[in-house]
C-alpha cells in the first residue's frame, strides 16, 4: 500500500492555512510535504517535526529559534523559510516550518547520475554554496550539515543550500552522550567535531571542502567499513589532493580543496566569506564551461529536500559509512528508499525510518565516544565557541561538563552582538572536569565617543571630530558669560556621548556674555568716549544722555551712570550717562516743587514781553537796568531746565530808537 494513503497529515489543513497534499521526504526528525498555501494561493514545502520530538521543550525551542535566525538570511543561495507555527492534532501538537518549494534534484542525485563532475560544473555549483555559507556565517549561523543531500539544483539553474542552522543536538539522553556533537553524515564531519564535540564556521568550511573533493573525484576522501573508522581517518589522516585520484585537476582547485579540508581548523579559511574569496581568486585560472554544458535536472516534479539515493559506490572492499543526523534533514523522498519486500513467511515487518535512524544514531554515538576516548586523553576538551550565540555557547559548555564566566564585551564588525568573540582557554585545550571557560561577547560594531571641544575655535574643533570618526553637523550660537565669543560652548550630542560612527555633531558657539558689569572707567570720560566703551561690550545696549550740574567733573564729561558702575546690565538693555554741564551761579533756586521748566530764549525781546513769557512758564524775571527795555542776554541760558519759581536774570540795555 502506498504509504501516503495512511498518512493522516495528507489532506489536512494546518493552522487554517496550509493543506498538505503530497509527502516528499521522511527523515529522522521531520517529514516534508508539498502543501498549498490557501491564503496566498501558492505551493510551498511543509516540514513537520515528528510528534515524539515535540515533547522536548528545549528541542522545540531550538527548532523555532534556529528557524527565526535562518529567516533573516539575505541570500538567494539558501532555501527560504517563509513561516513557522504549531497546530494541534489528535496525536498532539505538530510543529512545522514552511519553506520555499524548489523544483529540481539534489546534488546527491546529480552525483549518482553523473559520477564525478567537470571542473567548470564543480565551480558553477560550489560558488553559490560558498556564497550561502558566507551569508550565514555573517549572520552568526552555522549550518552543521553541509553535504550533497542538502544542496538543491533547481530546474531554473539556481543552486540553493537547504536546512541552514537546523541541525542542532537534541537534549535527550542519547544526544547528551554525544557531548555536543552534531550528528551529520560522518564522512563530512570535521576532525574537531569528532574530538571536541563542537561545530563552528571552520567545520562548515571543512564539510564544503569534502563535498568539493567528492564533486571532482566522484568519491568521498575517507571511506571505511564502520562510522568509527571513517571518523578516525578524518582525525588522523589528511584529505588527499583530488589530482591524486583524477588527473589534470587544476593546481589551484587542488590547493583550495586541501586548504578547506586541513585537519587544523586554523589552517582553513576562517569562514564562508573567506572560502568564497579564495574560490573567486582562482576563477580566472580555471577552464570555462563548454557551450551547452549545464547541470539542470530537467525534472518537472516538485522537490524540496529531495530524496537521497545511495551515494556513489566506494572502491571494492569498502563502503561509505552510513549516517543519521539529529537535525531537520530531509530524509528520504516520498516513500523514501523502498523498504525490503517480504520474501517468505518468516520475513519481519518493515522497519520504520525513525527506528532505523535511531539505531544508526546510537551506533554512531557509541563509535564517536570510543574515538574521543582514544584521542581525547580522558579529559574534557574546550569546544570551539567563537561565533556562537551566548545561550548556545553556554549549552555547549554544559554538555561537556564545563563552567563559564564572562569578561568585558568587545566591539566587533564581524561577529554579531551577543555572540562569542573570545574564549579562554582556546578550543581544543584539555581541562579538568568543571573547569571555568571565560567568554567575551561582541558588543556589536565599534562606537564613537563625542570629544570634549569646549573652548576651541571651529578650526580647532573640526579636525578632532574627523579624528573621532564623526561628521560636522553645523553651527548654532548661544550667550555665554564664561566662553569667549566664537568659541565652542558645547556640542550636540554632548561630549562623552557614545554614538555610531559618522554621527553628525553640532557645534554650539558662544555669542558672548548674556550680561556684563557696567565698567567703572566710563566715569570722567566724555559722552562719546563712554558710549564707545559700552558699544564694545557687544550687548546691543541703548546709551542715553542726561545733563546734570556738577562742581566735581568738567562740563561735557560723565558724572555717573544708571545702572551704577559694577552693576550688571543684560544684553539689549539701556544705560543712562549723566553728563556735567556748566554751573550757573545766577539762578536762585526754585519754589521747592521739583517741577522742572525749560528756560525759553527771550534775548532780543523787550523787557515787558520777556517778563510776560517767563511768568507764563512759572518763572520770575529781573533786569540789570531798570530803565533799559531791550533784552540783550539771559541767565540761565535758553534750553536749561530749572525748577519752577526760579528767577531768570535778564540783561537789558538802551538801544537807539528804543
Catalytic residue among 145, 163, 271, 396: 145
Q: At what angle do helices 251-260 and 272-282 cross, to 10 degrees?
A: 170
CB–CB of 625/650 below 8 Å? Answer: no
602 contacts 634 by C-beta, under 8 angstroms: yes
Dihedral of CA atoms 454, 460, 463, 466 in degrees, nearest 10, equals 20
Q: Nearest-CA neighbor of 362 among 494, 537, 178?
A: 178
DSSP percent split of the chain into helix, strand, coil, nearest 5? 30, 25, 50
* Strand ranges, E, within 496-583: 498-499, 504-510, 515-517, 542-549, 558-562, 568-570, 574-581
Helices of type H across 39-196: 57-71, 107-114, 119-138, 173-176, 191-195
How far is the C-alpha of 268 from the C-alpha of 200, rounded, in Å? 12
Residues 6+ apart with CB under 8 A from 234: 187, 189, 190, 191, 194, 222, 263
- Overall size of the chain counted in residues: 658
The DSSP bridge partners found for residue 438 are 405, 424
Rounded to 5°, angle at Cα 597 from 592 and 598: 145
The Cα-based distances of 158 to 127, 149, 153, 422 in angstroms read 11, 16, 6, 37
Distance CA 490, CA 513 (A): 15
Report the SS3 class of residue 446: coil
Is 145 marked active-site?
Answer: yes
Neighbours of 592 (CB within 10 A): 9
389, three cell numbers: 550565540
Hey, which residues are catalytic here? 145
Amino acid at each position: 500500500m502506498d504509504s501516503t494513503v495512511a498518512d493522516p497529515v495528507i489532506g489536512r489543513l494546518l493552522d487554517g492555512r496550509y493543506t498538505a497534499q503530497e509527502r516528499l521526504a521522511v527523515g529522522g526528525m521531520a517529514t516534508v510535504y508539498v502543501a498549498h498555501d490557501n491564503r496566498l494561493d501558492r505551493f510551498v514545502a511543509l516540514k513537520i517535526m515528528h510528534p515524539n520530538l515535540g515533547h522536548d521543550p528545549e528541542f522545540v525551542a531550538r527548532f523555532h529559534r534556529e528557524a527565526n535566525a535562518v529567516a533573516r538570511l539575505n541570500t538567494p543561495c539558501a532555501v527560504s523559510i517563509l513561516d513557522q507555527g504549531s497546530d494541534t492534532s489528535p496525536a498532539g501538537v505538530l510543529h512545522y516550518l514552511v519553506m520555499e518549494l524548489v523544483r529540481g534534484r539534489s546534488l546527491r542525485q546529480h552525483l549518482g547520475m553523473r559520477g564525478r563532475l567537470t571542473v567548470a560544473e564543480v565551480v558553477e555549483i560550489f560558488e553559490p554554496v560558498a556564497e550561502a555559507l558566507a551569508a550565514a556565517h555573517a549572520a552568526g549561523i552555522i549550518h552543521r550539515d553541509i553535504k550533497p543531500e542538502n544542496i538543491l539544483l533547481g530546474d531554473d539553474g539556481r543552486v540553493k543550500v537547504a536546512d541552514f542552522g537546523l541541525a542542532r543536538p537534541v537534549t535527550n539522553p542519547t544526544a547528551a552522550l554525544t557531548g555536543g556533537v552534531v550528528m551529520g553524515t560522518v564522512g563530512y564531519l570535521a576532525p574537531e567535531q569528532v574530538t571536541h564535540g563542537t561545530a563552528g564556521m571552520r567545520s562548515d568550511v571543512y564539510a564544503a571542502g569534502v563535498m568539493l573533493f567528492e564533486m571532482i573525484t566522484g568519491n568521498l576522501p575517507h571511506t571505511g567499513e564502520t562510522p568509527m573508522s571513517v571518523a578516525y581517518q578524518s582525525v588522523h589522516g589528511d584529505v588527499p589532493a583530488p589530482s591524486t585520484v583524477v588527473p589534470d585537476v587544476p593546481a589551484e582547485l587542488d590547493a583550495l580543496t586541501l586548504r578547506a579540508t586541513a585537519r587544523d581548523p586554523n589552517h582553513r579559511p576562517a569562514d564562508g566569506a573567506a572560502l568564497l574569496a579564495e574560490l573567486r581568486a582562482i576563477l580566472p585560472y580555471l577552464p570555462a564551461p563548454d557551450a551547452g554544458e549545464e547541470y539542470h535536472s530537467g525534472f518537472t516534479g516538485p522537490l524540496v529536500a529531495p530524496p537521497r539515493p545511495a551515494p556513489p559506490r566506494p572502491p571494492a572492499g569498502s563502503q561509505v559509512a552510513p549516517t543519521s543526523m539529529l537535525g531537520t534533514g530531509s530524509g528520504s523522498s516520498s516513500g523514501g528508499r523502498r523498504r525490503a519486500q517480504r520474501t517468505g513467511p518468516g520475513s519481519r515487518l518493515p522497519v520504520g525510518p525513525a527506528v532505523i535512524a535511531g539505531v544508526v544514531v546510537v551506533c554512531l554515538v557509541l563509535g564517536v565516544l570510543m574515538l574521543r576516548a582514544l584521542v581525547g586523553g580522558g579529559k574534557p576538551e574546550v569546544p570551539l565557541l567563537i561565533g556562537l550565540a551566548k545561550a548556545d555557547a553556554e549549552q555547549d559548555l554544559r554538555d561537556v561538563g564545563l563552567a563559564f564566566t564572562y569578561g568585558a564585551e568587545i566591539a566587533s564588525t564581524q561577529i554579531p552582538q551577543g555572540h562569542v568573540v573570545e574564549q579562554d582557554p582556546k578550543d581544543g585545550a584539555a581541562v579538568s572536569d568543571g573547569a571555568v571557560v571565560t567568554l567575551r561577547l561582541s558588543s556589536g560594531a565599534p562606537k564613537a565617543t563625542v570629544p570634549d571641544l569646549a573652548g576651541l575655535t571651529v578650526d580647532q574643533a573640526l579636525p578632532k571630530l574627523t579624528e573621532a570618526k564623526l561628521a560636522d553637523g553645523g553651527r548654532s550660537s548661544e550667550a555665554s558669560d564664561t566662553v569667549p565669543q566664537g568659541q565652542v560652548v558645547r556640542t550636540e550630542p554632548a561630549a562623552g556621548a557614545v554614538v555610531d560612527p559618522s554621527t553628525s555633531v553640532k557645534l554650539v558657539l558662544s555669542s558672548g556674555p548674556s550680561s556684563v558689569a557696567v565698567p567703572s572707567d566710563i566715569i570722567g570720560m566724555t559722552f562719546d568716549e563712554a558710549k564707545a566703551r559700552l558699544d564694545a561690550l557687544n550687548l546691543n545696549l541703548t546709551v542715553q544722555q542726561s545733563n546734570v550740574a556738577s562742581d566735581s567733573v568738567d562740563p561735557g564729561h560723565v558724572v555717573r551712570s544708571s545702572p551704577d558702575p559694577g552693576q550688571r546690565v543684560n544684553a539689549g538693555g539701556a544705560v543712562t550717562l549723566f553728563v556735567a554741564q556748566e554751573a550757573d551761579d545766577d539762578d536762585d533756586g526754585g519754589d521747592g516743587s521739583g517741577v522742572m521748566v525749560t528756560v525759553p530764549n527771550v534775548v532780543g525781546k523787550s523787557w515787558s514781553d520777556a517778563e510776560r513769557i517767563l511768568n507764563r512758564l512759572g518763572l520770575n524775571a529781573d533786569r540789570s537796568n531798570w530803565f533799559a527795555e531791550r533784552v540783550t542776554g539771559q541767565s540761565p541760558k535758553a534750553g536749561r531746565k530749572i525748577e519752577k519759581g526760579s528767577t531768570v536774570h535778564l540783561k537789558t540795555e538802551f538801544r537807539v530808537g528804543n
